[in-house]
Every structure is written in structure tokens, then in C-alpha cells.
Structure 1
Amino acid sequence: MESNSVFQIPPHDHFFLGSDHDRAERRTWAVIILCTVMMVAEIVGGALFGSLALIADGLHMSTHAGALLLAALAYTYARKYAGDRSFTFGTGKFGDLAGYSSAIVLAMIALLVGYEAVTRLIDPVPIAFNQAIPIAVLGLVVNAASAWLLSGGLHHRHDHDHSHGHAHGHDHDGAPRRSDEPEIRELEFEEHDHGHGAHHRDNNMRAAVVHVMADAAVSVLVIVGLLLARAFDWLWMDPLAGFIGALVIANWSVGLLRDTGAILLDRNPDPRMAERVRTAIESEGDHVTDLHLWRLGPGHLGAIVSVATSETHEPAHYRKRLARFPDLSHITVEVQHRLATP
């Protein structure tokens, strides 16, 4: 004989945004303003002084600002609609969607830079060193300033407690915890490494930083290539530096596509966590018949657990056992009671 029991919880909010969401949003908009100011200054300056190279770099800066705008809008939209119940599991994945889109843009940039580099290796073009080198240096300075502004969004704060201060109106098992519920400590897992897990990574901020770092890396390579080309008349050094930069950008793009794509497809973000959840449930002799673990947003995991037991335990019993894992922000527990037949 088998009976099924599913724990019913009252309606609650699904705020699964990262702990640094607001700060990252502000910093991203600040970098967009910086890039926009530089873009306007370069285009206007190029038009006034007749510098085609300056205009070209200004147009390049516009693509940089556009990529960052995608990240900023993702932050804003995710925050604005975090309480919209039409999003079944909240808006925490908007950053991953923006990161995936940015990775595609990066891949296209890598292809364009690589194509241009190969073209110039085959058919070298004259280089205006006196204009190109200062512009490359200026681009590096802007990217360094952008990286400094964005760096605050990458630092994971360790001054939070194990509840993470999440504002979604319920504890990590998806339902309000009563004050009389005992804290479960039968199994001693070391959970302090959770802050370094991949599921805590803000892929939206990561994509923004990758854009900045890719631009900075290309600027460094271009500066080195231009200096060598001018010193030794090696015109091939400039396109070679560009081709190396394209390979670097492509490598970062592939990594970003792989990680964000896995999240969008609900791949298990932390196999170690899944094994810990299974061990916590089965420590009393029960059996996990089905387990789904996926990422809801930076630092937030969702879990669906089906448990087969010959005891009289209800879902609340297993919720308490899983309360030790602060990253589990939304849990659904199904209990299958197997009763012995006479």
C-alpha cells in the first residue's frame, strides 16, 4: 500500500535576486555613463579635428556601451518585476539570459576582429601611428576605469549570516519557520564554502566585466603591436596582435556561453549540493526516489525532492532536515508512505 503526501505552503514571494543586485545595477549604469561621455567626446573631437581614427574609436565605444546597456537593463527589469507572480520562479535568471546574449555578441566581435586581422595580414594597410597609439592608450584608460567601477559588483560579501538576508518573505524551505522548530544538526556538513560555488556567480556582472576586460586586453595587444610595428617597421605585428585578441575574446565567450546556457537549461548547478541533500534525507533510512536541483538566481537554488519512507514522517520533517542548507531558497517535498501489507 502506498500513500502520497505533498506539503502545502501558503503563497509567498519569489525574490531570488543576488545579494549585490542593487549595487551592481548602480555600478553598471555608472560605467555606461562613462562610456557614453567618452563616445561623444571622441566622435565630436574626431569631427572637429578631422581624425577618422578618433571617430572610429568613438563608434567602437558605442558598441561597448550597448553591451553594458543590456546588462543594466537586465538588472533593472529583474528588480522591477521581482514580485510579478507571472514569473513562476522569480526573475533571478534575467542576469543569466543577459549574460548569454552578451556572450553571443562577444563571439561576433571575436569573429569580426579575427576576420579583419587575417585580412590585414594578407593585405597590409598603412597605419597612422601618431594617432592610433594615443587612442589605444585612451581606450585602455577608459577600460581600466570601467573595470574599477564594476569591481564592486564582483566582490561577494562575507558579512552576511547564513540566511543571506533574502527578502522573499520565507525561510529557505519555502515556508515560514516557527520559532519552536528545533535546529537539526545530526549531520555536520561544512557549508561555509557555499559562497565560492558557481551558483553564487552573477553572470550578468561577469558578462559586463568580460566585455571590459576583452576590450582592455585588445587595447594592450594593440599598443604593443603598434609600438613594435613603428619601431621595427613590422606592419604585421598590428594584425597579429588583433588576431591574438580575437582568440582571447572567443575563449571568454565560449566559457560564458557554456555556463549561462547550462543555467537557462536548468542543469544541476552543484552536484555536491545534490549529494548533500540526498545524504541528509537518507541518513534515517529513507530513500530519495527523485531529486531535482536548479538555480533560481545568484545564490539561490530550487529543489524538488521525492522521498519514499516506511515511517510516518510528513514533508515538514524533511524540510527541517534541509534547513541547514541556506542556499536552498525554494523546496518542494513529496513523501510516499509505503505501508506494510498484512
Structure 2
Amino acid sequence: MGHGHGHGQAIAAGESASGRHLRALTISLLVGATFMVLEFVVGFATSSLALISDAAHMFTDVLGVGMALAAIMVARRSKATFSRTFGLYRAEVLAALGNAILLFGVAGYVLFEAIGRISDPPEVPGLPVLLAATAGLIANLVSFALLRSGAEESINVRGAYLEVLADLIGSVGVLISGALTLLTGWRYADPIIGVAIGLFVLPRTYALARRALRILFQHAPQGVDVGEISAELAALPGVDDVHDLHVWTLTSGMEVASAHLTVSTEAEQSTVLTAAQNLLSSRYSIEHATLQVEAPQCAKRCEQLPW
């Protein structure tokens, strides 16, 4: 029987999609932490729920980016072993899920606080809120620009990016709240903007959590049709049957596949194996595929397995 990449051996250490954006994440963390402190101080000093909400979002931003960085470092330094054959790349996915949980918590807290303040909104000075929100907006714009490209490649970076996006929208909301309070003295502007920020975050947080859970439950990558892969492998010269086909994501940028290919007795197994590997690599960008090429009599055992 022929096979690709070897069964039961530790894979070589590689670079995930997240690892290519380590510098951007580090700068974003430092910028966010600095302006988070500023917003918290001004928010509590002025009793501005909108500003405290934005600062809380920035806190989850800082914590989320910190988690993303920690996950990348763990994945980089924890090389694959015979007992941990894929290393710790899944730490990046766990960091993304942690970001989603944080965002859900912050949104819930803001909505709870806002409902309590609607009946008797406190008087909030507009100018300090306006100035602090402007500083926060600048910080978020810097982080947004740094993480935007990485969010397309990595679920880990995307988690941090969504945190920053929520903060960016929050800062705009706080600016509006501060301007309305300063110009009109309308006391309801602050809690209403706080609610709007919380509601804006929820659908994006749900999408991030859903994507992270798909990876953790080893679903097929989004956009990959496993049935189509099976059909194309079966159409290769010499292949009679494809079974036990599995395709999943280890972490962003690392798709993995395994399959059994039953070949005719006259087929050259090494030729079939090479053709299958090339197909998965060129058509589906699956570079790590473990393929078992077997004779018809060997495939009977697979039919007896219950899962």
C-alpha cells in the first residue's frame, strides 16, 4: 500500500496564517492598552456609560489581542511530538473563541446597564467624553489598519480584528453621544448610544464563535465541497473507489485531509498517489494530505468499521 506524509509521525513545524501577523498584533496591543486606560479614567470620572462601554470593548480588544499573541507564541514554540502530533496550533482557534465569549459578555453588560439608566439617565459632561472618544478613535483606526489584511487569512487575527472593529464603531458612537450632550444637553444620548454599540457587536460575535466552533468540531472548511473532492479523486486514472475521506482545518491557513483510495490491480500505486496529492494541492490548497492507496481486498476491512 502507498501512503502520503506517513501515518503516526509528528509533522514538521510550520507557520500558521496567524504567525505572519505577529508584529501587527503587538503594535495593536500596545496602542489599545494605552488608550483603554485613558477611556476608563475619563468614563468613570464623568459617569459616561457610552465611554465606559467603549473602554470595556477596548479592554476585551486588548485582552483578545493578547490572547491571540499568546496563542501564536505557544503554537510556534510547542513543536509537534509523537504524543502531540499537530503541536498546539488549535490554541489559536481557542483564542478566537475566547474573544467571542468576551464580546458576548461585554455586550450583555452594556445592555443591562443601559436599560437601568433609561429611566433616570445621569448628567454626563460632553467635552471630556468627546476628547477621550477622539483619542480612542485614533487608536482604533491604527489597530484597524494593522489587522485588516490579516483578518482575511486567520481566524485568530480575525477575532482581534472584530474586537477592534467593534471598538472603532463604539468610538464613533461615543463621539456622537458626546457631541449631542455638549450641544443639546440631551441626557438620553449616552445610554441610547451604549445600547447601539452593544447590539452592533452581537451578530459579528456570533459569526466568529460559529467559525471557531466549526474548526474545533472538525467540520469541513467553509467553501470546500467534500463531495466534489471525493468525485475528483475517484475520477483519477486507476482509482476504483474513494472512502474514509476527511477534510478539516487545524488552524487558519492549515487545511488537512486524509482518505483511502482503492485502486485497480494493474494501477501503479505511486502514480495514483502523486496524482491525488497534486490534485488536493493545486485545486484545494490542501498541502498536508495523508492518503492510503490500497488494493480491493484491503478495502473490505474499512467496510466493517462502525465509524
- Provide the C-alpha distance between the structure 1 equivalents of 2:191 and 2:45, rounded to a whole number of angstroms: 21
Query: What amino acid is the match of 1:260?
Result: A
Aligned to 1:320: 274
Question: How far apart are residue 117 of structure 1 and its match?
Answer: 1.7
- Provide the C-alpha distance between the structure 2 equivalents of 1:89 and 1:314, rounded to a whole number of angstroms: 31
- Provide the C-alpha distance between the structure 2 equivalents of 1:97 and 1:42, rounded to a whole number of angstroms: 28
Aligned to 1:218: 170
- Provide the C-alpha distance between the structure 2 equivalents of 1:226 and 1:281, rounded to a whole number of angstroms: 61
Aligned to 2:29: 32
Alpha carbons of 1:69 and 1:262: their partners in 2 closer, same or farther (altered >3 Å)?
A: same
The share of aligned pairs that are identical, in percent, is 24
Aligned to 1:286: 240
- Provide the C-alpha distance between the structure 2 equivalents of 1:239 and 1:94, rounded to a whole number of angstroms: 37
Aligned to 2:94: 97
Q: Is the 8 A contact 1:315 1:334 kept in 2?
A: no
Q: Is the 8 A contact 1:315 1:333 kept in 2?
A: no
Q: 1:7 aligns with which of 3, 12, 25?
A: 3
- Bigger fraction of residues in helix: 2
Q: 2:261 aligns with which of 294, 300, 307?
A: 307
RMSD: 3.0
Aligned to 2:125: 128
What are the residue-to-residue correspondences of 1:76-91 with 2, within 5 Å?
76-91=73-88
Q: Is the 8 A contact 1:15 1:91 kept in 2?
A: no
Q: Is the 8 A contact 1:14 1:90 kept in 2?
A: no
Alpha carbons of 1:257 and 1:123: their partners in 2 closer, same or farther (altered >3 Å)?
A: same
Alpha carbons of 1:257 and 1:225: their partners in 2 closer, same or farther (altered >3 Å)?
A: same
Q: 1:331 aligns with which of 252, 275, 289?
A: 289
- Provide the C-alpha distance between the structure 1 equivalents of 2:32 and 2:211, rounded to a whole number of angstroms: 27
Question: How far apart are residue 218 of structure 1 and its match?
Answer: 1.1
SS at match of 1:324: helix
Question: How far apart are residue 40 of structure 1 and its match?
Answer: 5.5
Question: How far apart are residue 336 of structure 1 and its match?
Answer: 4.3
Q: Is the 8 A contact 1:16 1:92 kept in 2?
A: no
Query: What amino acid is the match of 1:137?
Result: T
- Provide the C-alpha distance between the structure 2 equivalents of 1:239 and 1:56, rounded to a whole number of angstroms: 11
Q: Is the 8 A contact 1:107 1:253 kept in 2?
A: yes
- Provide the C-alpha distance between the structure 2 equivalents of 1:86 and 1:79, rounded to a whole number of angstroms: 17
Deviations 1:26-77 (A, max 9, x none): 211122222333356667x86xxx9466996997454432222111101111
Question: How far apart are residue 118 of structure 1 and its match?
Answer: 1.5
Q: Is the 8 A contact 2:68 2:156 kept in 1?
A: yes
TM-score (norm 1): 0.73
What are the residue-to-residue correspondences of 1:128-207 with 2, within 5 Å?
128-154=125-151, 201-207=153-159
Please say if 1:248 is aligned against 2:200.
Answer: yes
- Provide the C-alpha distance between the structure 1 equivalents of 2:259 and 2:73, rounded to a whole number of angstroms: 33
Aligned to 2:114: 117
- Provide the C-alpha distance between the structure 2 equivalents of 1:208 and 1:104, rounded to a whole number of angstroms: 12
Query: What amino acid is the match of 1:319?
Result: L
Q: Which runs of 5+ in 2 are unaligned?
A: 298-307
Question: How far apart are residue 317 of structure 1 and its match?
Answer: 3.5
Q: Is the 8 A contact 2:10 2:84 kept in 1?
A: no
Question: How far apart are residue 16 of structure 1 and its match?
Answer: 4.6
Aligned to 2:16: 18
Alpha carbons of 1:57 and 1:291: their partners in 2 closer, same or farther (altered >3 Å)?
A: closer
The alignment of Structure 1 onto Structure 2 pairs a total of residues equal to: 285
- Provide the C-alpha distance between the structure 2 equivalents of 1:74 and 1:87, rounded to a whole number of angstroms: 16
Judge which range, 258-267 or 77-86, deviates more. 77-86
Alpha carbons of 1:42 and 1:298: their partners in 2 closer, same or farther (altered >3 Å)?
A: closer
Query: What amino acid is the match of 2:11?
Result: D
Q: Which runs of 5+ in 1 are unaligned?
A: 156-200
- Provide the C-alpha distance between the structure 1 equivalents of 2:18 and 2:104, rounded to a whole number of angstroms: 27
- Provide the C-alpha distance between the structure 2 equivalents of 1:337 and 1:253, rounded to a whole number of angstroms: 48
Deviations 1:316-337 (A, max 9, x none): 3433122133222322223442
Question: How far apart are residue 294 of structure 1 and its match?
Answer: 0.5
